[in-house]
Structure 1
Amino acid sequence: MNTIDWSIFILILIITLAIKQFKLQKVDSNSIYDKSTLNYGVKLIAIQSFVYSFISLPGQAYSQGITFLQLYLGIPIAVFFTLYVIIPKYKIAKTKSAFEYILNHSDKKIHNLTVVLYLILRMLILTITFYAIAMVLSILVKVNFKTLLIFISIGFIVLHLLFRNKNYLFQKHNQLLYCTIIIILIFTCILYKLPLGMYIDDTLSFTASFDKLTLVDSKLAEKDKFDLTKCLINGTILFVALLAMNTKTLQIYRQSKYSYKTKDSLFIYGLLNIPFQFFILLTGSILFTFYQFNDAPLHYNPNNVHTVKQSIYADQYNDIKQEYHKILSLRKEASLLYSGQIYQNYSNEVLQDQILSLTENANKLQQEAKTLIKKANDDVEVNDSDFILLHFINFYVPDGITGVIIAIFLISLISLGLREINWLTKSILNILPIKKKNKANEHPIKNRYFLVSILLIILILLITYHVPVFLNLIQILWTYASLFSGTLLAILLISMYGRANNQIFFVCIIIVQLSIFYLYFTTNIHYLWYNAIGVSGLTVLTFVLSTVYNSISISQKEKDILI
C-alpha cells in the first residue's frame, strides 16, 4: 500500500476504536423482531456468515472453479428440515437452546459432553479468525507469521479488557453489508482492468472455456474435489446442525412476535445464501481470467517471498521467477488472441490447449518456488490461495480504496474474534461449578471472567501456532465443522426422536467421535463425508447397542421371575 492507503487505513482504525470506546451503543432488544421478512433473512445470513469467507472463497474459485457452490445447495433443504422436524420439538418443549433440550431429555453427562464438543468446535473455528487476521496483516508488514499470531493474541487481550463484554466493533449485519460492497467493488474493478473491448459476456465465455464456471459435477470426485452427491448429502447435514445448534437463531425465532415472518425469512435465508455465495465465487473465477492478461506473482504470500529472498535460496528463486514470467508473457499473448476470437463467437481449441499447457507449466514453477520457501524456513506455510484476492486488492485496486478495504476486513475480523471470545468465555463459565452471583461475590466472578478470557486466548494462540494451514481458510472451516456436526446433530435427533439408555448413549458418542478423529488422521476420506459418518454412525451404533442391552435386560428379568 502507498502513503494514501496507509493514511486512510490508520484513520479508519482510529475512528472505529474511538466510536466504540466513547459512543454509547443504543440497542433496542425488540427492534429486530419488528423488521421485514427480508431484513430478518439477511440477519440470518449475517449470523451464519464468516468474514474470512470473503477473502478465502475467491481463492478457492480461482483454483478449482465454482464447484464449491454445490456445498451450499444443501442450505434450502436444511432450512426445510430445521423448520418442520427440529423447531416443532423445540416449541413443544419450550426450550431456549439445543443444549437445554438435550439436558431435559437425557442426562447431565450427555449434556456436558455435547457442550464440550460444541465448544471445541467453536474454539477451532476461532483459530481461523486468528489465521485470517495474520494473513491480512502480513500484506502490510514483513513480519513472521507466527510472530504476528503472538501480537494478535496480545491485541485481543488488550481489546477484551478495554471493551469488556461490549464485544463488537461492527454489528454482524453491518459487516455483511460492508464486505458485500467490497466484493461488488472488486468485481467491477476486475472487469474494468480487463483488455479493452472485453465485456462481461466475453469474460464469462473466456472463464467458462477453462472449466471455471462449471457448477454441478455429477460424477463422484477425488478426495480434494467436489461433486453433487458429496456436497448435497453432507452439506444438508452440516447446515442442519449449524441451524439447529445455533442459540441465537432459535432465540430470535422463539421470541418473534410474527411467527409467519420468521418462517418465511428462514426460507429467504436458504434461497438468498446460494446467489450470495455464487457471486463471491464468481468474483474468484473471473480473477482467474484477469491474471491470464496480467502478471501474477510466482508466490502470492509476500511474507514468504521476503523470507526466501533473504535466504541462500534467493538466486534459485529469482531464476524460477524469470522463467515463470517468460511463461506468463507467452500465456498473455495466447490469451489476447483467444479472447479476440471469443469476441467473434469462435473458440480456438489449439489456443485453449496452449493456454492450459502454459498454465500447467506455470503451476509447476509455483510448486518449485514453494519447495524453496520451505527449504528457506520449514516453519512457514506455503499454501497461498487465500492471498490471491489480497494481492489483487493490494496491487490493482485504485489508491485510497485499498486502505478502506483492508481496514474494513481487519476490523470485521477483529470484531468477529471478540464476539467469539466473549461467547466462549460465557459458555465455559456456565458449565463450570460456580455459585450464583450476588453482591458479595460479583467482583470475584468478574475476575474469573477475565481470567478465563485470557486463558482462552492463550489456548487459541497455542493451537493456531502449532496447527498448520492445511487448506485454504474456508475449507479449514468446513473441515472442522464436519468433524463435529454429524455427531452433534445425531445427539440432538436421538434426544428428540429416539429412546436410548443414557449410559450406552454416552459411550456411543465417545466411540463415534473418536472413530471420526481416527479416520480423519489415517484415511483419505474427503472431510465432508464425516458429516454423514457422524449422523449414521452414532444413530446405528446407539440403536444396535440399545437393542442388545434391552434384550439382555428382558432376558434377565425373565430369569429373575422364574427364580
Structure 2
Amino acid sequence: MHALNWVDWIVLIITLLAIVIYGTWQTRGSKNVKDYLRGGNSSKWWTIGLSVMATQASAITFLSTPGQAFNDGMGFVQFYFGLPIAMVVICMVFIPLYYRLNVYTAYEFLENRFDLKTRTLAALLFLIQRGLAAGITIFAPAIILSVVLGWDLLTLNIIIGLLVIIYTVSGGTRAVNVTQKHQMVVIFIGMWVAFFIIISKLPEDITFIKALEIAGASGKMKVLDFSFSLNNRYTFWSGIIGGTFLMLSYFGTDQSQVQRYLSGKSVKEMQLGLIFNGLLKVPMQFFILLVGVMVFVFYQFNNAPINFNPTATELVLNSKQAEAFQALQSEQDNLFDNRQQIIKDFLNTKDKKQALKDLRKMNDLNANVKHEARLIIEKVAEEQDVKIESNDKDYVFIHFILNNLPRGLIGLLLAVILSAAMSSTSSELNALGSTTTIDLYIRNTGEKTETEKVKASKWFTFAWGIIAIGVACVANLAENLIQLVNIIGSIFYGNVLGIFLLAFFFKFVKGNAVFIAAIVTQIIVFILYVLNEYEMINLPFLWLNFVGCIIVISMACLFQLIKTNEKSVTA
C-alpha cells in the first residue's frame, strides 16, 4: 500500500480539526441540563435528519458495506427495508408520547408506566449493548488505518477516542448535532467523488450500463430475494419483518437515536427529521453498496491481490507457506487474463448464454482460489499463534482508495471514514452519558442542581469514552464489522422493543410481570444466538429482533394473567 502523501495529511488533519474545533466552539458553555442533554430543543428538522443518519452511518458503513457488496452483491440493502415503516410508527406513537412526558431519556417513560426496576433494567440493557458498539465504532477505522499508516492499534484507538471525547464532553447533544451535520456533508461528497472516479477508471469502452451488465452477470445486482429460506441471511422478508423490529427498537428505544430527535424544536420538527431519514437512508445505503459493486467491476479489469488485508499477506509471505500462497496468486492472475476475453465475449456476443455460463464459472474458480488463500492465512496464524483477519471484506474499499485515488482525495476519503467514526461514536457517548446520569445516578441519589447535573453528565460521558477506547483496544475483527454491530444490537433490541410495546399497547400488564419476562427473554435470546452460532439451530440474527419481541410480550402477558387469576382465586 502507498504511504500517505503530504497533501493527503493536510486534507485529513484540517478536515478533522475543523470539525472538532467548530463543534467545541459553537456549543461551549451549556448552563443547564436541558441545553446539555437536549441541545436546548433548538434543532431544525434537517439537522435532526442528518444527525440521526450520521449516528447510524458509522465508519463501519463506509468500510464494510462496499466490501459486503464486493463479495455478496446488493442483497444487503434488504436489511434496511423495514426502516421507512419503523419511521412512520415512531412518528405516530413514540414521538408524541416522549414530547408530552417531557423526558430526557426513553427509559424515564418506563418508570411512569411500570416501575423503577423495569426502567433500570431497560437502561442497563441499553448501556451494555451500546457500550460494546461504541468500542467497535472506534475499533473499525483504527484497525484499517493501522494498516494504512503503519501505526499500532492502541495509539489509533486512543487518538480517535480522545478526538470524539473533546467535543462530546464540552458541548453535549448540540455539539453532536452541529458536528454531525458537517460530517454528513463531508461523507456525501467523499462517496460521490469515489463513485465517479471508479467509473472514470474503467476501460474507455466500458460505460456505466455495461458495468452494471457485468455486475449483473456476476450475480452482484440481485437486490430482492423473496425466498423464505432461513439459510439466506438477507431476504425481503427478514428485512421487512426482522428489519422493522430492529429499526423500531433502534430508532424508538435506543437513547443514542432518541436523543437526536428529542433535541427538536417541536413535535413536527422531530417527525420531519425522522421521515427525512426514512426517505433518504435506503437510497443512501443502496448507493454505498453500488460503490462496492463498481469496485468489483473495476477489479474485473485490474489485477487484485489474492487477499486485500496487507498484514495477512505479509504474515504468509514471511512463513513456510509463502510458496503455496504465491502459487495461488499466480493462479488468480491466470484467471484474470482468461476472464478478459470472456467479458469481451459476454459484452459483444448476441448469444449471451454460453458467455454468461463461462463468466460465472470463472468467478466461482476465483472465489475458490481466494478461499484457499484464506485457509493458508488461518493456518499460518494458528501456527504462529497470532490473531489476524483472513476475511478481507473490510479492506477492499480502503485498498482501492489508497491505490487508485489521486493525492488529496485519499486524504478526503480517510477524513470521511474518520468523520463517520467520530459522528456515530459521539452520539453513542452522548447517549451513554445521559442515560447513566438521568436513569441511574440522579434517579437513585436524589435531586441535584442544574450545575451538578451538567457536571455529572460530562463526567459520565468522559468515563464511557474511556470504556469505549478500552473495548476498542481488546476487540477482534468478526467476519464483517457491519454485521458484528447489528448482531450485538439484535441480541438486545427485540427484548427492549417488547418492553416498550407492552407499555404502549398492553395496559393490563404491570411492572413485575414485565421485569421477570424481560430477564427470562434476554437469557433465551442469548441462548438462541449461541445455538445458531454452533449450527445447532438455524436462526439468522435479524430474526432475533422479532423473536425477542414476541417472547417478552407473550411471557409478560402470561405472567400477568397468572397473577391476576391467583388474586381472583384468593379473593
**TM-score, reference length from structure 1:** 0.87
Distance 1:408 1:339 in 2: 35
Partner of 2:558: 544
Given residue 352 of structure 2, which amino acid in structure 1 is its aligned partner? N
The alpha-carbon distance between structure 1 residues 450 and 215, as it changes in their structure 2 partners (threshold 3 A), is: closer
Distance 1:164 1:81 in 2: 30
User: Is residue 139–residue 303 contact of structure 1 (8 Å, CA) maintained in 2?
Assistant: yes
Please list the CA deviations of residues 144-178 of structure 1 after superposition, one character each: whole Å capped at 9, or x if unmatched: xxx51x22344356547766813779811222221
1:397 aligns with 2:397: no
Distance 1:450 1:310 in 2: 44
Aligned-pair CA distance for 1:2 = 4.6
Distance 2:461 2:278 in 1: 38
The alpha-carbon distance between structure 1 residues 140 and 10, as it changes in their structure 2 partners (threshold 3 A), is: same
1:555 aligns with 2:552: no
Specify which of 347, 350, 354 is matched with residue 350 of structure 1: 354
Aligned-pair CA distance for 1:299 = 0.2
Specify which of 366, 372, 379 is matched with residue 375 of structure 1: 379
Partner of 2:540: 526
Moved more, 372-381 or 81-90: 81-90
1:205 aligns with 2:213: yes
Distance 1:240 1:439 in 2: 32
Larger radius of gyration: 1
Partner of 2:109: 101
1:488 aligns with 2:496: yes
Given residue 25 of structure 2, which amino acid in structure 1 is its aligned partner? Q
The alpha-carbon distance between structure 1 residues 513 and 185, as it changes in their structure 2 partners (threshold 3 A), is: same
Partner of 1:361: 365
The alpha-carbon distance between structure 1 residues 487 and 213, as it changes in their structure 2 partners (threshold 3 A), is: same
Partner of 1:560: none
SS in 2 for 1:129: helix
Q: What are the equivalent positions in structure 2 for 1:496-535 lying under 5 Å apart? A: 496-498=504-506, 499-523=508-532, 524-535=538-549
Aligned-pair CA distance for 1:339 = 2.7
Partner of 1:460: 471
User: Is residue 135–residue 387 contact of structure 1 (8 Å, CA) maintained in 2?
Assistant: no
Please list the CA deviations of residues 497-524 of structure 1 after superposition, one character each: whole Å capped at 9, or x if unmatched: 2232422321110110110000101123
Please list the CA deviations of residues 397-448 of structure 1 after superposition, one character each: whole Å capped at 9, or x if unmatched: 2233213312332344245435534543453354245576679989996996
User: Is residue 19–residue 183 contact of structure 2 (8 Å, CA) maintained in 1?
Assistant: no
Partner of 1:9: 8
The alpha-carbon distance between structure 1 residues 136 and 533, as it changes in their structure 2 partners (threshold 3 A), is: same
Specify which of 420, 425, 448 is matched with residue 428 of structure 2: 420
Moved more, 214-223 or 98-107: 214-223
User: Is residue 312–residue 390 contact of structure 2 (8 Å, CA) maintained in 1?
Assistant: yes
Unaligned runs of 5+ in 2: 29-34, 533-537
User: Is residue 425–residue 449 contact of structure 1 (8 Å, CA) maintained in 2?
Assistant: yes
Distance 1:41 1:270 in 2: 9
Aligned-pair CA distance for 1:108 = 1.3
Given residue 15 of structure 1, which amino acid in structure 2 is its aligned partner? I
Q: What are the equivalent positions in structure 2 for 1:16-55 lying under 5 Å apart? A: 16=15, 19=18, 25-27=25-27, 33=42, 35=44, 40-55=48-63
Partner of 1:73: 81
- Cα RMSD after superposing both structures: 3.2
Moved more, 513-522 or 54-63: 54-63
Aligned-pair CA distance for 1:213 = 1.6
Q: What are the equivalent positions in structure 2 for 1:17-416 lying under 5 Å apart? A: 19=18, 25-27=25-27, 33=42, 35=44, 40-142=48-150, 148=153, 150-155=154-159, 159=163, 165-166=169-170, 171-247=179-255, 250=258, 256-257=264-265, 259-341=267-349, 346=350, 348-378=352-382, 379-414=387-422, 416=424
Given residue 166 of structure 1, which amino acid in structure 2 is its aligned partner? S
Aligned-pair CA distance for 1:192 = 1.0
**TM-score, reference length from structure 2:** 0.86
Distance 2:319 2:553 in 1: 54
User: Is residue 294–residue 332 contact of structure 1 (8 Å, CA) maintained in 2?
Assistant: no
Moved more, 102-111 or 124-133: 124-133
The alpha-carbon distance between structure 1 residues 340 and 32, as it changes in their structure 2 partners (threshold 3 A), is: farther
The alpha-carbon distance between structure 1 residues 97 and 448, as it changes in their structure 2 partners (threshold 3 A), is: closer
User: Is residue 8–residue 404 contact of structure 1 (8 Å, CA) maintained in 2?
Assistant: no
SS in 1 for 2:26: coil
Unaligned runs of 5+ in 1: 558-563
User: Is residue 74–residue 222 contact of structure 2 (8 Å, CA) maintained in 1?
Assistant: yes
Distance 1:444 1:90 in 2: 25
Distance 2:126 2:531 in 1: 23
User: Is residue 98–residue 492 contact of structure 1 (8 Å, CA) maintained in 2?
Assistant: no
User: Is residue 51–residue 179 contact of structure 1 (8 Å, CA) maintained in 2?
Assistant: no
SS in 2 for 1:212: coil
Moved more, 383-392 or 81-90: 81-90
SS in 2 for 1:215: coil
What percentage of residue pairs aligned between the two structures are identical?
25
Distance 1:443 1:121 in 2: 24
The alpha-carbon distance between structure 1 residues 495 and 469, as it changes in their structure 2 partners (threshold 3 A), is: same
1:478 aligns with 2:477: no
Aligned-pair CA distance for 1:549 = 1.6
SS in 1 for 2:183: helix
Distance 1:517 1:365 in 2: 36
Given residue 285 of structure 1, which amino acid in structure 2 is its aligned partner? V
Partner of 2:32: none
Moved more, 289-298 or 18-27: 18-27
Partner of 2:535: none
The alpha-carbon distance between structure 1 residues 194 and 104, as it changes in their structure 2 partners (threshold 3 A), is: same
Aligned-pair CA distance for 1:268 = 2.7
The alpha-carbon distance between structure 1 residues 540 and 435, as it changes in their structure 2 partners (threshold 3 A), is: closer
Please list the CA deviations of residues 178-224 of structure 1 after superposition, one character each: whole Å capped at 9, or x if unmatched: 12212111111111111212212222222222232222111123435
SS in 2 for 1:165: helix
Distance 1:131 1:509 in 2: 30
The alpha-carbon distance between structure 1 residues 75 and 224, as it changes in their structure 2 partners (threshold 3 A), is: same
Aligned-pair CA distance for 1:554 = 0.9
Distance 1:495 1:439 in 2: 30
Aligned-pair CA distance for 1:225 = 3.3
Given residue 522 of structure 1, which amino acid in structure 2 is its aligned partner? L
